[in-house]
Structure 1
Amino acid sequence: MTTPPGTDDDQDRRWRLVLGAPAESALGGLSRAEDTAMDEALSALYNGDEHTPGAKRTAGLSGSAPKVARWLGDIRSYFPSTVVEVMQHDAIDRLQLAQLLLEPELLEAVEPDVQLVGTLLTLNRVMPETTRATARVVVRKVVREIEHRLAARTVAAVSGALNRAARVSRPRLRDIDWDRTIRRNLAHYLPEHRTVVPERLVGYGRRAQAVQRDVVLAIDQSGSMAASVVYAAVFGAVLASIRSLRTSLVVFDTSVVDLTEQLSDPVDVLFGTQLGGGTDINRAIAYCGQLITRPADSLFILISDLYEGGIRDEMIRRIATMKEAGVQVLVLLALSDEGAPAYDHDNAAALAALGVPAFACTPDRFPDLLSIALDRGDVQAWARAQANRR
């Protein structure tokens, strides 16, 4: 018989599952087969904590990949997906299971998410071909979920910004921006006629097929930036699909790799990265500077925690030169849902002194940020407003 939720017996049962076998004498045993199975799955992961005096592992995940795959299947049966993701990450961190992710049967059992993709990318260079094929399936599933969530909003935000940039004062009838025209002419409202008589029309210019803006994304691929690399690759592919933008994507550690040619498929971009290693931001900025041929029409986005292993003063000077030439420059400390990471506060302060904002941004807010930046709005004010909302 199932224990009714909220009863004392149900509370004892839950605490017993949380605390494990050592609490059995005080809280009683587990009578249901499902509870016993849940307890075994939890014990396999958490009962071996060497920091817990007297703890003894009652199960284990060491050994073959099939055994781990069965365990992953068990936890997906007993726990909601949010809990499964936490347990997967704990298993990788606590039990050193990263190498087992090289086994295709294990990858097929894992619940895909952005953090898992980051882990797979760190193993990219050591994967056998059979595993790489399975890994691409896992990565593609995550990429599609991100695209489904964010692609349409990004295209709409960017298109709106570019259309506003083409606004003219003598538009054709079909190109009139009625909302802004009315707002601009509210002083000419005639109460007796209950209407506004516009003295000045505001409208959009005819859409040009030519490239209106250049966007250069430079992505730090050090290990701590894994989630940012995943999201930036997807956004880069979306931006590359917009004809009125010329989008370039560069990843860097101590070397620089231009992945612009792979932007038609963000999965190819991700498998072209190599997470980990050192960081030479200065070298990356020097390369990106060569890609910028129209400074006044260019947006440069550096995604990095700003820990510089190269020449720090030269890095700051290059950013200052870009900005003085008319390039719109943004620095994102992270492009992820995890908030601001650890970052170099001195370098962030030096950039802020140049008028270059440095802040973290969630993927859901990135389309709005792009719109503001492409419309040359006040990005710093936008960032402060987002911080106040949190």
Structure 2
Amino acid sequence: MTTPQERMRRWRLVLGGGQGDGTACTLTGRDAAMDGALAALYQAGDASAQGGTPEERSGGLGSSAPRVARWLDDVREYFPQSVVQIMQADAIERLDLRSLLLEPEMLEAVQPDVHLVGTLLALKNALPEKARSTARAVVAQVVADLEARLAERTRSTIKGAIDRSARVNRPRHHEIDWNRTIRANLRHYQEEYRTIIPERLIGYGRSQRGVQRDVVLCIDQSGSMAASVVYAGVFGAVLASMHTVRTSLVVFDTNVVDLTDQLDDPVEVLFGTQLGGGTDINRALAYCEGLVTRPSDSIVVLISDLYEGGVREEMLRRVARMTAAGVQVVVLLALSDEGAPSYDRTNAAALAELGVPAFACTPDLFPDVMAAAIQRRSLAPFVPDPEGR
């Protein structure tokens, strides 16, 4: 059972107050250190409103790289990794620490994650020479971690989808796709035997040797899409490593850049992006449309929040033209672990009317989305209902 003293201790940690917080509890040792790390971030500048002087409440993190580095060491010691990443992101935003990320000593102290990579990519042109190698090492570490997490499942899921999409009508016993065979022969159900007579067998395709699908990843590199750019770069490299998939990777703002020739090195791909700027989706799709040579075997994945700065009507006509030609068009509003993104709902609704649903996708779900697209299955199961569930 929790004692009154323990309850007050917990309330003191939650409230983050001083002597006037009503708990009459003084923190010591590890509790005091945890409270100090939180106060440095979340109470900096709020001391007067809390009833104390800035010195009494917290000096904040200021603009000192050594002080920030010590704070980063503290939060890594006292909090789990998931919380550390949130606090780092909050520190960069709330306390405007971007300038400190230009220092290699600061970069070495930060816990690498996708959001930090996004920030570094946005700052890459401002990085001094002494910080660039450190920044590249940080990006490389995050990319390696993501590849280890995502690559194997992506390859196996997509390979299986390609094999299953190449159906054979005279399969060997172990190649029979029983689900499709049963559906294709339902009209041959024999009531007296209570079974189906399979007059036509449908089998999985045998392993394919040549290129079976052309995939074009078209990535909006506006600032709000930073995490999506990182994940898409990693997935592009994974897809490019598969001999059955021909992968192109295109990034855009108001200009279009083809990074396909760098897909063997996802770190180079990411440093080839330029986060921020305007958005011309129509121009990007025009370029991608030009890459399509086998419409019925092509998948164009547009990753964008759909805030179009170009010609909206032409963008929609282009999508309609591609789908009519047989191209499978997939629109992802975000490719990240975040919640529901901000996006242009009018454009999303217009695409849905064309039979192209737009939805956010987590990295863990992306292989399944691609598998469904390869097999030309409906993407409706991946679209959340209007309540966001």
TM-score by length of 1: 0.90
Match of 2:30 among 28, 34, 44: 34
Q: What letter matches 1:107 in structure 2?
A: L
Residue in 1 aligned with 2:164? 164
Contact 2:233-2:270 at 8 Å conserved across structures = yes
2:320 corresponds to 1:320: yes
Q: What letter matches 1:280 in structure 2?
A: D
User: Cα distance 1:38–1:279, how it changes in 2: closer, same or farther (>3 A)?
Assistant: same
Contact 1:16-1:24 at 8 Å conserved across structures = no
Measure, in 1, the Cα distance between the counterparts of 2:25 and 2:118.
40
Residue in 1 aligned with 2:277? 277
Describe the superposition over 1:27-51 as per-residue Cα deviations: whole angstroms up to 9, x where unpaired: 2343522222223222221222449
The within-5 A match list for 1:331-370 is: 331-370=331-370
Measure, in 1, the Cα distance between the counterparts of 2:365 and 2:324.
27
User: Cα distance 1:203–1:385, how it changes in 2: closer, same or farther (>3 A)?
Assistant: farther
Report the secondary structure of 2:18's partner residue: helix
Residue in 1 aligned with 2:104? 104
The within-5 A match list for 1:239-278 is: 239-278=239-278
Report the secondary structure of 1:83's partner residue: helix
2:25 corresponds to 1:18: no
1:351, distance to aligned residue in structure 2 (A): 1.2
Measure, in 2, the Cα distance between the counterparts of 1:66 and 1:218.
40
2:11 corresponds to 1:8: no
User: Cα distance 1:327–1:190, how it changes in 2: closer, same or farther (>3 A)?
Assistant: same
Gaps of 5+ in 1: none
Q: What letter matches 2:153 in structure 1?
A: R
Measure, in 1, the Cα distance between the counterparts of 2:21 and 2:172.
82
Q: What letter matches 2:11 in structure 1?
A: W
Measure, in 2, the Cα distance between the counterparts of 1:244 and 1:387.
37
Residue in 2 aligned with 1:383? 382
Q: What letter matches 2:148 in structure 1?
A: H
Measure, in 1, the Cα distance between the counterparts of 2:116 and 2:52.
29
Measure, in 2, the Cα distance between the counterparts of 1:285 and 1:55.
56
Measure, in 2, the Cα distance between the counterparts of 1:196 and 1:317.
46
The within-5 A match list for 1:56-75 is: 56-57=53-54, 58-75=58-75
Bigger drift between 88-97 and 77-86 goes to 77-86
Report the secondary structure of 1:204's partner residue: coil
Q: What letter matches 1:296 in structure 2?
A: S
Contact 1:47-1:55 at 8 Å conserved across structures = no
Report the secondary structure of 1:332's partner residue: strand
Contact 1:48-1:55 at 8 Å conserved across structures = no
Describe the superposition over 1:61-86 as per-residue Cα deviations: whole angstroms up to 9, x where unpaired: 11321221111001111122222222
User: Cα distance 1:48–1:310, how it changes in 2: closer, same or farther (>3 A)?
Assistant: same
Measure, in 1, the Cα distance between the counterparts of 2:10 and 2:354.
55
Describe the superposition over 1:112-141 as per-residue Cα deviations: whole angstroms up to 9, x where unpaired: 221111111111111123322212222222
Bigger drift between 47-56 and 360-369 goes to 47-56
User: Cα distance 1:326–1:226, how it changes in 2: closer, same or farther (>3 A)?
Assistant: same
Contact 2:9-2:27 at 8 Å conserved across structures = no
Measure, in 1, the Cα distance between the counterparts of 2:181 and 2:346.
45
User: Cα distance 1:350–1:177, how it changes in 2: closer, same or farther (>3 A)?
Assistant: closer
Report the secondary structure of 1:216's partner residue: strand
Residue in 2 aligned with 1:290? 290
Measure, in 2, the Cα distance between the counterparts of 1:148 and 1:179.
33
Q: What letter matches 2:291 in structure 1?
A: L
Contact 1:47-1:56 at 8 Å conserved across structures = no
User: Cα distance 1:180–1:313, how it changes in 2: closer, same or farther (>3 A)?
Assistant: closer
Bigger drift between 304-313 and 177-186 goes to 177-186
Measure, in 1, the Cα distance between the counterparts of 2:134 and 2:364.
28
The within-5 A match list for 1:79-94 is: 79-94=79-94
Measure, in 2, the Cα distance between the counterparts of 1:208 and 1:202.
17
Gaps of 5+ in 2: none
1:195, distance to aligned residue in structure 2 (A): 9.7
Q: How many residues align?
A: 384
Contact 2:231-2:336 at 8 Å conserved across structures = yes
Contact 2:163-2:208 at 8 Å conserved across structures = no
Measure, in 2, the Cα distance between the counterparts of 1:51 and 1:320.
57
Measure, in 1, the Cα distance between the counterparts of 2:372 and 2:350.
23
1:249, distance to aligned residue in structure 2 (A): 0.4
Contact 2:340-2:360 at 8 Å conserved across structures = yes
TM-score by length of 2: 0.90
Measure, in 2, the Cα distance between the counterparts of 1:328 and 1:316.
15
Contact 1:40-1:59 at 8 Å conserved across structures = no
Q: CA RMSD in A?
A: 2.6
Describe the superposition over 1:309-366 as per-residue Cα deviations: whole angstroms up to 9, x where unpaired: 1111111111111111111111111111113311111111111121111111111111
Residue in 2 aligned with 1:146? 146
Contact 2:63-2:97 at 8 Å conserved across structures = no
Residue in 2 aligned with 1:330? 330
The percentage of aligned residue pairs carrying the same residue is 62
